[in-house]
Amino acid sequence: MNRRETLKSLFLAPLAGTVIASSGCGTIASNNASRITWARLPTEYSYGRTDVEKLTDQRLFAETYFREHELVTIAVLCDIILPNNHPNGGALDAGLPDFVEFMVKDREQYKLPVRGGIAWLDSYSIEKFGPDFINISEAQRLSICNEIAYPDNQAPKLQAGISFFSLMRNLTLTGYYTTELGFRDLDYMGNTPNVWDGVPEAVLRRHGKYYDEDWLSKCIDQSTRDIVAEWDDDMNLVT
């Protein structure tokens, strides 16, 4: 796959509020603009849907909810929460802005908290530094994040920001760890046919656990799994 086709870029203007999308066209309205770029997620899926579900998903994909400015802010936040500077990639490599956009459209209860949260963030940023969140310096952005990233911060004024940040952290981590990058990061080993034969010996030792003989006698000897079961009349398996 051509990586270019799978990336989305939005411009992050250094000053003032205007943010211009590049989405394919090359016009740049602002000098000095820096880009924020992320991997695109597919908009077509096939995984055992009913007709009604197919229609629902098509409708969701066709819907636009976020303004460009909001999408850029989401991208910037996701990137702070799980940066790309890691061998297993980060939020933007995992297409987080697209994922957040879809989930927010899918779950009505997210719409207002995310829109309102972004507005709160901009307002706080303007009050503190002048420009809105995406147009302040990176150091300034992090200083705001340091205030709202920890729920133990009791400052009444920050509570709305704190719950918004928690929501964004939830969505970012869930969005990342449900991609191939996240699976690699976690070393997830499942979702594949196998023959479960108990906890590995070394792990048992490490945890001071063992299988006692009585229990083991009730468990499948995996070398017999393919032999057709037969019982005697007293409920004893004889094969």
Partner 1 sequence: MAEQIYDAIIVGSGAGGGMATHQLANAGLKVALIEAGDFYDPADEEQRTQLRYPWESPRRGASTRLRPFGDYNSCIGGWELDGEPYTQKDDTEFMWWRGRMLGGRTNHWGRISLRFGPLDFKRKDIDGLGDNWPIGYEDISPYYDKVDKLIGIFGSNEGLYNDPDGYFLPAPKPRLHELYYIDGARKSNVPVIPARKSILTKRINNDRGICFYCGQCSRACGIHADFSSSTVLIYPSLNGGQVDLLTNSMVREVITDEEGMATGVRYVNKRNQREYELKGRTVILAASACSTARILLNSKSGQHESGLGNNSDNVGRYLHDSTGASRAAFLPDLMDRDIYNEDGVGGMHVYSPWWLEGANLDFTRGYHLEIGGGMGMPSYGFGFAVNQYNQYLGDRVGGYGNQLRDDIRKFYGARLSIACRGESIPQYTNRCELDPTVVDEWGIPVLRFDYKWTQHEINQARHMQDTMEELLEASGGIVLGNKPGADQNYGLTQPGEIIHEVGTTRMGTDPSTSVTNEFGQLHDVKNVFVADAGTFVSQADKNPTWTILALAWRTSDYIIDQMKQRNL
Shortest Å distance, C-beta 15 to partner 1: 25
Nearer to partner 1, 2 or 47 (CB): 47
Rg (CA), the chain: 25
> Which region, judged by CB under 8 A, interacts with partner 1, from 14-22, 65-73, 125-133, 200-208?
200-208
- Angle, CA of 194, 199 and 205, to the nearest 5°: 150
Residue 140 structure tokens: 């300034």
Tell me which residues in 51-110 interact with partner 1 (CB under 8 A). Answer: 52-53, 56-57, 60-61, 80-83, 85-86, 99, 102-103, 106-107
User: Which position among 201, 202, 213, 238 is part of the footprint of partner 1 (CB under 8 A)?
Assistant: 202
Distance CA 26, CA 37 (A): 14
User: Is residue 116 a contact point for partner 1 (CB under 8 A)?
Assistant: no
Tokens 């991609």 sit at which residue?
179
Distance CA 55, CA 61 (A): 10
Tokens 């200083």 sit at which residue?
143
User: Which position among 182, 184, 201, 213 is part of the footprint of partner 1 (CB under 8 A)?
Assistant: 182
| Pair 35, 9: CB distance under 8 Å | yes
| Pair 239, 229: CB distance under 8 Å | yes
| Pair 168, 81: CB distance under 8 Å | yes
User: Is residue 24 a contact point for partner 1 (CB under 8 A)?
Assistant: no
Tell me which residues in 154-173 interact with partner 1 (CB under 8 A). Answer: 165-166, 169-170, 173
| Pair 90, 178: CB distance under 8 Å | no
User: Is residue 48 a contact point for partner 1 (CB under 8 A)?
Assistant: yes
User: Which position among 19, 36, 39, 41 is part of the footprint of partner 1 (CB under 8 A)?
Assistant: 41
User: Which position among 16, 67, 180, 184 is part of the footprint of partner 1 (CB under 8 A)?
Assistant: 180
Phi first, then psi, for residue 207 (nearest 5°) are: -100, 5
Tell me which residues in 203-222 interact with partner 1 (CB under 8 A). Answer: 203-204, 206-207, 209, 211, 215-216, 218-221
Tokens 């503190």 sit at which residue?
128
User: Is residue 235 a contact point for partner 1 (CB under 8 A)?
Assistant: yes
Nearer to partner 1, 31 or 138 (CB): 138
Shortest Å distance, C-beta 78 to partner 1: 10
